[in-house]
Chains A and B, each alone.
Chain A
Amino acid sequence: MLLSLPALHLQTSEHHPLFQLPHGRLGPWCSPSGSPAPLSCETGCGEGSWILVCRLLVPTQVSLLSMEEDIDTRKINNSFLRDHSYATEADIISTVEFNHTGELLATGDKGGRVVIFQREQESKNQVHRRGEYNVYSTFQSHEPEFDYLKSLEIEEKINKIRWLPQQNAAYFLLSTNDKTVKLWKVSERDKRPEGYNLKDEEGRLRDPATITTLRVPVLRPMDLMVEATPRRVFANAHTYHINSISVNSDYETYMSADDLRINLWNFEITNQSFNIVDIKPANMEELTEVITAAEFHPHHCNTFVYSSSKGTIRLCDMRASALCDRHTKFFEEPEDPSNRSFFSEIISSISDVKFSHSGRYIMTRDYLTVKVWDLNMENRPIETYQVHDYLRSKLCSLYENDCIFDKFECVWNGSDSVIMTGSYNNFFRMFDRNTKRDVTLEASRENSKPRAILKPRKVCVGGKRRKDEISVDSLDFSKKILHTAWHPSENIIAVAATNNLYIFQDKVN
């Protein structure tokens, strides 16, 4: 359960003078005159400062949250027997996603739960509170299952959440674990009908013979209740583990991708899906490559891309054929012979692929870099950003402890001018594509007070370690930021660090 702890929020009575940088103090990328660079989506977010809005902790007790939801209340209550002093593994956040307006922020965790946060509405009295997110709804999306045929457990961990664009008062999202995709409807109820005379006080149906009057119930206001109901369950279509889901721009179909296949679904039909990509070899012995991520083009409903473990991206057009085994475009960067090692293939494996909002570019994340590709140029990316190149000399150790297989995600900001991805030691990195500046920030409890400006971090690579720098050997590889999200139009980011969700925003004057 995610709960916004009051202690972490800015109290309304407090007035922090931090909105203005003190004179003479230069941020690391201020213009030479000393004034802070303008902060707006258009000019990019590598400049300016980031402040912590709130940190949302996953508490291990359940009782604090209002439990008006009908769904799975009992199951959630039964899971209360958790140690309060540390977060359990089930609380580890496994996916983060803003909806299309940015009003809602959904997280999924390893325990199969989805928690939705809603942005605090702006009000004249509490202008400071704008930008904070509070819990809106919580529900158990997936349960652990057992595959009897293979004698294997199916984890309930939520791999991905994708929102549907809002078309009426209710919100819809897709959530998936390894095998099953579910469509959830999240709706509000603030009225209830009262005045039925068909039941007695205890709720038992009255004998119809005793009812002598016709009473029309009236709607009376009630406390706001948010309920989540599963509207569709798309099951039994994937032999391998689902790694991606993507809603099509036609809002009628979506795709789900596992290691070897991609299926196309219609939202209304749960017992059928079309297989549009199948890279399973006839002989499993010949398997050398798997699908790692897939996404639909934001505007062209016939186009999608998928990435592979060999560092390639294929763009497919569904108009070409029913089974898109033959790509329309093939993106691959030639290997750098000077950097060749036994780990070359592993670190080239793409862990995430994202279209830019414009649809013109795709961004890919492999183990050490983020690359931006122009859809019109297949032979190499147009930009390459080093996320943590200092790890290149540590690849053997990272292979030994399996960190080399970590799947980092990457995100665009609303204007496609800044890209962000996570790293180790709770660091995350932002790259401004226009100014070519980059910054490393840390999402940690120790270093972040509410509304405090995040201090840029630096990793020292050999040589003398300056003050405030951290050496490569001191990095904590168990603290990894795999999942981040960027508000679709504003400079608000959500960063998941184990069981903590940090929300940062651009400092506003």
Chain B
Amino acid sequence: MFARGLKRKCADHEEDMGGALAGFRAVPSYSLQRQSLLDMSLVKLQLCHMLVEPNLCRSVLIANTVRQIQEEMTQDGTWRVAAPQSTGRAPLDRLVSTEILCRSMREQDGVHPAPGMGDDHVLGPGSELSTVTSAQTPRDPQNSVWEMDSPRENRGNFQKSLDQIFETLETRNPSSAEELFSDMDSSYYDLDTVLTGVVSRAEPGPCDGLQGLPPVATPASSSSCKSDLGELDHVMEILVET
């Protein structure tokens, strides 16, 4: 599958970031590998056997891996936690939001994307997302408010999510199983929902129509966003089929 999961040195990392902007490379970049590993781990945490109690050792090891990735991504500044969403949102809206989010991030970086420029690269052939990206929305002036989300808070959210999954594992009941799966379609990319299976209702933020924007620390984040979208697409296919 991938090359050996060695942690590359800093220099390689940045170099890869720059390279990824040009499109997909033959060898996935480190951040892409890491993101894919993160996605895989989250899926593993969710897809527990419903009949038999899940293996606690396995769950703990996967959760530790996810934590490890999250810590590293937080240090890199590439960690983004989406704010909790309310249910009932149409999937398409979600996708729009995600795209707008990424576009806004890029705009902040001073990179003005041509209409639908890098998006097609990332979304892959036949993706529904590409049709969505044609419209560009103006940058939300309140983005900056969301960017103030500190990594610490994100980490707290994430930690809380991980915590709740252990509670879920511990006191499992059938209703939580439904909730676990009911949200997968629309909110996979929302870590909180993914990990808890329960949609938590956050207080309505200033950007009600958008997902919370994560802090944008480095220019590298835009390319990771593109790769994230590619992963999101891939994951969406899996989820929809389940």
Contact A345 B172 (CB under 8 A): no
Nearest neighbor of B44 in chain A, beta-carbon distance = A402
Interface 0/1 of B163-197, CB less than 8 Å to A: 11011001111100000000000000000000000
CB-CB under 8 A from B117, the residues of chain A are none
How many angstroms from the CA of A400 to the CA of B69 in the assembled complex? 16
How many angstroms from the CA of A346 to the CA of B57 in the assembled complex? 10
CB-CB under 8 A from B61, the residues of chain A are 309, 345-346, 349, 405
Contact A400 B1 (CB under 8 A): yes
B7: interface (CB < 8 Å): yes
Interface centre among B3, B33, B34, B56 (most CB of A within 10 A): B56
Nearest neighbor of A243 in chain B, beta-carbon distance = B57
Q: Restricting to A297-330, which residues have a CB under 8 Å from any CB of B? A: 309
A80: interface (CB < 8 Å): no
Q: Is the interface of B mostly helix, strand, loop or mixed?
A: helix
Contact B57 A284 (CB under 8 A): no
Contact B163 A349 (CB under 8 A): no
CB-CB under 8 A from B55, the residues of chain A are 241, 405
B159: interface (CB < 8 Å): yes
Binds B, one of A47-55, A150-158, A419-427, A428-436: A150-158
How many angstroms from the CA of A400 to the CA of B44 in the assembled complex? 9
The 8 Å CB contact of B173, one of A151, A285, A392, A399, is A151
How many angstroms from the CA of A21 to the CA of B53 in the assembled complex? 52
Interface 0/1 of B144-169, CB less than 8 Å to A: 00000000000000011011101100
CB-CB under 8 A from A285, the residues of chain B are 159-160, 162-164, 166-167
CB-CB under 8 A from B6, the residues of chain A are 340-341
CB-CB under 8 A from B37, the residues of chain A are 342, 396, 399
A292: interface (CB < 8 Å): yes
CB-CB under 8 A from A349, the residues of chain B are 57, 61
Q: Restricting to B15-35, which residues have a CB under 8 Å from any CB of A? A: 33-34
Contact A284 B167 (CB under 8 A): yes
CB-CB under 8 A from A287, the residues of chain B are 60, 166
CB-CB under 8 A from A346, the residues of chain B are 61, 65
Nearest neighbor of A407 in chain B, beta-carbon distance = B57
CB-CB under 8 A from B167, the residues of chain A are 284-285
B9: interface (CB < 8 Å): no
Q: Restricting to A362-398, which residues have a CB under 8 Å from any CB of B? A: 392-397
A167: interface (CB < 8 Å): no
CB-CB under 8 A from A342, the residues of chain B are 5, 34, 37, 65, 68-69
Contact B53 A152 (CB under 8 A): yes
B51: interface (CB < 8 Å): yes
Interface 0/1 of A230-244, CB less than 8 Å to B: 000000000011000
How many angstroms from the CA of A157 to the CA of B5 in the assembled complex? 35
Nearest neighbor of A393 in chain B, beta-carbon distance = B4
Nearest neighbor of B65 in chain A, beta-carbon distance = A342
CB-CB under 8 A from B134, the residues of chain A are none
CB-CB under 8 A from B3, the residues of chain A are 393
A19 shortest CB reach to chain B, Å:
45
Pick the 7 closest A-B CB pairs, nearest first. Answer: A285-B163, A341-B5, A397-B1, A259-B56, A284-B166, A396-B2, A152-B53
- Spell out B's residues near A (CB within 8 Å): 1-7, 33-34, 37, 40, 44, 51-53, 55-58, 60-61, 63-65, 67-69, 159-160, 162-164, 166-167, 170-174
Chosen A-B contacts, 8 in total, with CB atoms closer than 8 Å, are A150-B53, A152-B52, A259-B56, A283-B163, A284-B163, A285-B160, A288-B63, A342-B37
| New contact pairs (20) apart from A288-B60, A341-B7, A405-B58, CB-CB < 8 Å | A150-B171, A150-B173, A151-B173, A240-B56, A241-B55, A285-B159, A285-B160, A285-B166, A286-B163, A287-B60, A288-B64, A289-B60, A309-B61, A341-B6, A342-B68, A343-B65, A395-B4, A399-B37, A400-B40, A405-B57
